[in-house]
Structure 1
């Protein structure tokens, strides 16, 4: 499945993508995305290939990293906290066959937000290994 930033300066392909995604309802994700939640996927490093361009990466004062297109500012995949995985923003993928398997950080969701009835619900975030297993179907890199 292919993905890109808004302007097309950065393009990539995700191989062997399960289609499983999560929605994060924490304040950081809401503010960063300007919405009620952030929809993401996690894929092993070797399952993502950069086709065109490279993202800029910066470390937020929270310790999290973020990658974006230097031209249009759209979020693009970035390495997941030093693990052997990429976080992939689902809205940038050219596809619509996604399944929400987890809703996380419901303890800090916006009062006006509604939560998908699909997937397991977590007040916080499950252990990272558990989340990765849900998202890639138990297939680790």
Structure 2
């Protein structure tokens, strides 16, 4: 993907820019992502924190309940409600909602997580990385597969 990447919310009140290469792109089938996206899954892009900035508007935020003791926030447009990213305090990357990118034509997820919560009708690509729950390797395989895919094209 050619940098910088740009995107924003549905109404245009909040905009962002990505200046460092994304680390991974995957679909999450957990019930939280299903509810948040009003869909069967959410598509997430791991983006280095240092390579992400809001360029217009200030997103609203709320604390996301987690099973772990981590502090996670959801950032969204206070005008139209579009979720833009999830951010866990202390992590080097944030989880961008990939559908908020202006150019979504080149998005090809490399894996699926939390498939034990996936809709029964889902069919997964034969070459995709599949995880029943969260990745047990700290997202390493997803990041490696994404890097391989990006540099191959």
Into which bin does the TM-score normalised by the smaller protein fall?
0.7 to 0.9
Report whether the alignment pairs 1:137 with 2:147. Answer: yes
Tell me the equivalent position of 2:25. 21
Q: Cα distance 1:40–1:135, how it changes in 2: closer, same or farther (>3 A)?
A: farther
- The number of residues matched between the two structures is 138
SS in 1 for 2:84: coil
Question: How far apart are the structure 1 equivalents of 2:145 and 2:36?
Answer: 22
Give the 4+ runs in structure 1 shifted more than 4 A: none
Tell me the equivalent position of 2:43. 39
Question: How far apart are the structure 1 equivalents of 2:141 and 2:98?
Answer: 16
Report whether the alignment pairs 1:77 with 2:85. Answer: yes
User: What TM-score results when the alignment is normalised by the length of structure 2?
Assistant: 0.78
Tell me the equivalent position of 1:86. 94
User: What TM-score results when the alignment is normalised by the length of structure 1?
Assistant: 0.84
Which structure 1 segments of 5+ residues have no match? Answer: none
Which structure 2 segments of 5+ residues have no match? Answer: 149-153
Calculate the aligned-residue CA RMSD, in Å.
Answer: 2.4
Tell me the equivalent position of 2:151. none
